[in-house]
């Protein structure tokens, strides 16, 4: 999420677009726009830079998961904690 109670630490701020929260939505809303295409979300962190477990990430992306469910393509959305690059490439089918 772009919303955080703590200052951003160890994060690239190049992905922040002006007024994105107000005009478009938060990260789960942006992820939902990819439906029904395949999407892998891996390696989420808090604003403070702490890694999120898969359960925490799944909870945060519940909106995107609902949209994929509505499209009947829930299998096209994968949400996972950080993976080794080789494992992530394998998951992507590479």
Per-domain residue ranges for the chain? 13-91
| φ, ψ at 18 (rounded to 5°) | -55, 135
Lowest mean pLDDT among 4-13, 48-57, 63-72: 4-13
Residue 55 pLDDT grade (very low, low, confident, very high; cuts 50, 70, 90): very high
Strands 39-42 and 77-80: parallel
Write down the pTM of the prediction.
Answer: 0.77
Determine if residue 36 is left, alpha or beta; phi over 0 gives left, psi from -120 to 50 gives alpha, anything else beta: alpha
CA distance 41 to 48: 19
pLDDT in tens, 41-50: 998 888 788 8
**Tell me: the pLDDT tens digits for 15-42?**
667 777 777 778 899 999 999 999 999 9
Question: Is 28 in contact with 68 (CB distance < 8 Å)?
Answer: no
């Amino acid at each position: 999420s772009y919303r955080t109670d703590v200052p951003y630490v160890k994060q690239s701020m190049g992905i922040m677009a002006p007024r994105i929260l107000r005009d478009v939505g938060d990260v789960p809303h942006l992820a939902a726009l990819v439906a029904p295409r395949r999407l892998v979300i891996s390696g989420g962190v808090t604003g403070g830079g702490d890694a999120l477990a898969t359960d925490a990430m799944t909870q945060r992306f519940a909106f995107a998961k609902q949209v994929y469910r509505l499209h009947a393509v829930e299998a096209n959305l994968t949400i996972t904690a950080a993976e080794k690059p080789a494992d992530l490439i394998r998951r992507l089918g590479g």
